[in-house]
């Protein structure tokens, strides 16, 4: 089993960077087994083909335009994922959609795809998440741990060194 957790987004556009920031927070919060790969996908596209090829499960973390109140977390899975990509929030999602289509054509698509998303509050230029979205990071990392649990992978909290 190989599980890829892919954080995508543009960290220069405030909440658009939630996927990347969530991956950073998850890496800091949990010890991960070797079958789980964390990838900071940023705004890349076809460069991710090799990283995503033949993953048993792909979990994407991203800002999503889902018609919910700003700061809402959503889970999109399986057959609903292509519908999500039709309502693109940003150019990197076009690239990711193309990557998944290319993997499918080559027979190397992930066994399952899940998107954990957050409705952005702000897409203004800025390196920081908006306060409401930043406040969601602990809940979002816990949801990531829960997704792994659904797949039979238990993650342990990272050990913190005493000050």
* DSSP conformation class of 2: -
- To the question of whether residue 16 is assigned a binding role by annotation, the answer is yes
Q: Where in the chain does DSSP place strands (E)?
A: 3-8, 30-31, 36-42, 57-63, 73-77, 112-118, 156-157
Q: Please, is 98 exposed, middle or buried when counting C-beta atoms within 10 Å of its C-beta (0-12, 13-18, 19+)?
A: middle
Phi-psi sector, 107: left (phi>0), alpha (psi -120 to 50), beta: left
d(CA 112, CA 79): 9
Which parts are annotated binding residues for Ni(2+)?
16, 62, 92
Binding site feature residues? 16, 62, 92
């Amino acid at each position: 089993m190989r599980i890829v957790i892919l954080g995508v987004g543009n960290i220069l556009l405030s909440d658009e960077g939630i996927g990347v920031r969530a991956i950073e927070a998850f890496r800091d919060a949990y010890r991960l087994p070797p079958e789980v790969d964390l990838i900071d996908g940023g705004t890349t596209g076809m460069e991710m083909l090799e990283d995503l090829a033949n993953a048993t499960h792909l979990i994407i973390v991203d800002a999503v335009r889902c018609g919910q109140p700003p700061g809402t977390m959503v889970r999109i899975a399986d057959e609903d994922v292509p519908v999500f990509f039709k309502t693109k929030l940003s150019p990197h999602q076009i690239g990711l959609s193309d990557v998944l289509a290319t993997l499918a054509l080559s027979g190397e698509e992930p066994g399952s795809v899940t998107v954990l998303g957050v409705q952005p509050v702000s897409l203004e230029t800025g390196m920081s998440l908006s306060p409401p979205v930043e406040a969601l990071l602990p809940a979002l990392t816990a949801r990531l741990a829960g997704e792994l649990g659904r797949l039979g992978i238990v993650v342990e909290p990272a050990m913190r060194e005493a000050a």
